[in-house]
A and B are shown apart, each in its own frame.
Chain A
Amino acid sequence: MTEPSPADPIVRPARRGPMSRLSPVWLVPILALAVSLGIAWQSYAERGVLIEIAFPSASGVAAEKTELKYREVSVGLVETVSFSDDLSEVIVAVRVDRKLAPYMDEDARFWVVRPEVSAQGISGLNTVLSGVYIEGSWDSEAGTAQTAFAGLARAPLADPTRKGTAIQLSARDGNSIVAGAPILYRGIPVGAVEAPELTDTGDGVIIRGFVEAPHDRNLSTNTRFWDISGVSVSLGPGGVSLDFSSVASLVQGGISFDTMVAGGEAVEQGQVFPLYANQAAARASLLDDPSLDSLKVLAVFDGSIGGLSEGAIVRFRGVQVGAVENVAMIASDQSGRKVVQLHATLAINPARLGLGEGAGPEDGLNFLRDYVAQGLRVRLATASLLSGQLVVDLVELPEAEAAEVTMTEDKLPQLPTVEADVADLNATAEGVFQRINNLPVEELLASLQSLIDSANTIVAADETRALVPGINATMAELQTLVPDLKATLAKTEATLEEARKITAGLRESGATENVNKVFSSAAAAADAVEIAVAELPKLTARLNTLAARTENVLSAYDDSSRLITNALSTLRDISEAADALRTLARTLQRNPNSLLMGR
């Protein structure tokens, strides 16, 4: 029995080799080193590009916290916030995504998004909780990458990533437009404008705007923009109408546009459009095709043209065909005498003369030549009695002296003018009132009174009672007086009628300038009439006493019935005349201007 013994171990001598002394565990640190280096290299390679943005102020921007966003996606982080060398700006250094860096070329714009409450609503509300962020905007074409940018103080209007058309509106002033005011198309906001800027020459303002796609396809060269800011109140036959577009446009203004005529050309980026004051003006402007030159003609007036201003309308048969472009005073020698003439340059739109679209200045001039031969003349007329504004009328006066279109030294065609009726009217009205003034009312009354006095004396005298023939004579005298009185009244009435007609004419043709004079002479006349009329009640009273006495006298002589009948009818006539005078006097006293107004 053999003792159990462990199996003989297999003894293999250790192999000797250069690698046998090295433990394979060394692979681990090598691997770790490789991985660490790999991670380090990767994070270095993927590290973003540092760009610097200069902001006027950077309220709320915090280092390592504030993000740079592009289309609401975080693409970078603010690393440091520092000042420029002269402390005038805040330099915000942002580490941005390496992939996006090439797109940040010269068109990249940056601004800080903050909560903002405006008339259009509240924006940037999310930043109330999360803090501000920097929004970047650039186009989708990579250019020469930049690392230094100037930040904007506020969000730009036109986002280059949004499609649309940038426009420029030229206006006389920028009163009613605030930055961010909407551009409306049929009441729908389709864009916005920036704050108005003065032009380089300072003679107007330019308002940059942006119309978003796809609404910009509604734009063409025939598009008209007009201001819809504020409230418009108009008084018309339908009463007062109050008109405003929206509360936003009330507060910050607004611009509306419409393409009223088809067939315009496509607009380019940055196309300049005029901004009209209202829709009516925009519509009216459609008739002046800006591509067509207007016909410039000269009209020379001798008299005063006060009330004629630049922009006053030129009418032909009541329709506006142009406008006064310029009013100038030119001194010249006429047969050795210095004469100052007023030159008004009229811009006439040939298309409006009925010559059709595409009519040029030459066509218009030929048309005017023909018409002037037929008696077309330039005449000033009052547009409104209240404002005293003058308009230029092209009137047809076939009986006028022959004239023709002449060319001035400046190659401007000159149209013949005629005196405005404004001047004649004054003379006519004044003449009428002069005549009223000159009526012998006072003499008439004086003679009437002396007559009645003598009649009174006669009647009162005792011997008269015995003198029926004397009474007869008195009656005869009275009888002759009555038609006279009647004639006077009729004359007065005729005069008044004439005055009424003239004033009616005055109202129609309306020459304010002269109306004042007319009014003053009318007042003078009315005063004279009034003074005269004040005597009338006395006169009537006397006539009444006379009548009473006459009646007494006549009752004593009731044998002569014919005489009494005569006397009675005479007395009734006198009494009627007195009544009529009284009524007239009362009316005049109550309403002196009824002389003018005719009622």
Chain B
Amino acid sequence: MPVYNMEIPGNDAALISAQRAGLVACSHCGRVYPPGTESCGRCGSGLDPDGRKSLQGVWAWLAAGILVYLPANIYPMLRTNTLLDSSESTIVGGAIELFHHGAYAVAAIVFVASILIPIGKFLAIGYLAMSLGRRSRMSVHHRHMLFEVVEFIGRWSMIDVFVVAILSALVHLGSVANVNPGIAAVSFALSVAFTMLSAQSLDPRLIWDADEEDR
């Protein structure tokens, strides 16, 4: 039984992946099985030899994320009732309003966190998922970096939702002022959650596999 020393860095010539060895590795515990095995005998998780299911998950969550991102932008995020009037603001509308009021920094934060990042994430995940099956101009390293960034930044997209949640919890002053979350708040939270799940579904090993196929 050959011993693969995976602990020694810089020894990648000796490393081969399970796929290359003609085996199926459990993505959860690392045990390898002969191809065709349905589930891991050690930890019980399902085996996915060519990452097809993983990729399907990525696309499915991404689609769901994009779907709920639409109402998040169409419907109002915040419903503000004050003594004088009531107003509803959407994400884009709020950012534009802030910009008009001269709060450029805040407007920029809202714009980046609520529009640029989610859309960038959609694009990044979509690009990564698409690049798995074919040659890519971007190096493996850069694709890994992109994947890490997407995973890291995902949680920060919830900043809008947090603001809405905190505001509506704090500002309940009876008839004087009230802040209620709109439909968009729920949609946006769902969208962020779906995108995160999409990023998590992406099995990074597939990037290696695609890379190895290139060689």
Residue ranges of A at the interface with B (Cβ–Cβ < 8 Å)? 7, 9-15, 21-23, 25-29, 31-33, 35-36, 39-40, 43, 65, 129-131
Contact = CB atoms under 8 A, between A and B. Distances in A.
B85 A131 contact: yes
Contacts of B201: 25
Contact of B60 (A7, A10, A28, A130): A28
Given A28-B64, A39-B183, A130-B85, A12 B70 contact: no
Given A26-B56, A26-B60, A39-B183, A32 B67 contact: yes
22 contacts: A7-B41, A9-B37, A9-B42, A10-B41, A11-B34, A11-B37, A13-B38, A14-B36, A21-B52, A23-B56, A23-B60, A25-B60, A25-B61, A28-B64, A29-B67, A31-B64, A36-B67, A36-B68, A36-B187, A39-B183, A43-B75, A129-B83
Interface in B15-49: 33-34, 36-39, 41-42
B194 interface: yes
B138 interface: no
Interface of B: 33-34, 36-39, 41-42, 52-53, 56-57, 60-61, 63-64, 67-68, 70-71, 75, 83-85, 183, 187, 190, 194, 201
A12 B71 CA distance: 44
Contacts of B187: 36
B44 to A, nearest CB: 10
B193 to A, nearest CB: 10
Contacts of A23: 53, 56-57, 60
A138 to B, nearest CB: 24
Contacts of A7: 41
Contact of B41 (A9, A14, A15, A31): A9
B85 A12 contact: no
B135 to A, nearest CB: 25
A209 to B, nearest CB: 37
A129 B61 CA distance: 48
Contact of A25 (B38, B56, B83, B84): B56
A12 B67 contact: no
B196 to A, nearest CB: 13
A298 B38 CA distance: 125
Given A25-B57, A130-B83, 13 more contacts: A9-B41, A13-B37, A21-B52, A23-B60, A25-B56, A25-B201, A26-B56, A27-B60, A29-B61, A32-B64, A130-B84, A130-B85, A131-B84
Lowest 10 A-B CB distances belong to which pairs? A9-B41, A23-B56, A29-B64, A29-B63, A25-B60, A32-B64, A25-B57, A32-B67, A26-B60, A28-B64
Nearest to B49: A14
A9 B60 contact: no
B64 A11 contact: no
A36 B39 CA distance: 35
A10 B38 CA distance: 9
Given A11-B34, A14-B38, A23-B57, A65 B64 contact: no
Contacts of A131: 84-85
Q: Looking at B33, B64, B84, which has the most chain A CB atoms within 10 Å of its CB?
A: B64
Contacts of A130: 83-85
A14 B47 CA distance: 9
Contacts of B42: 9
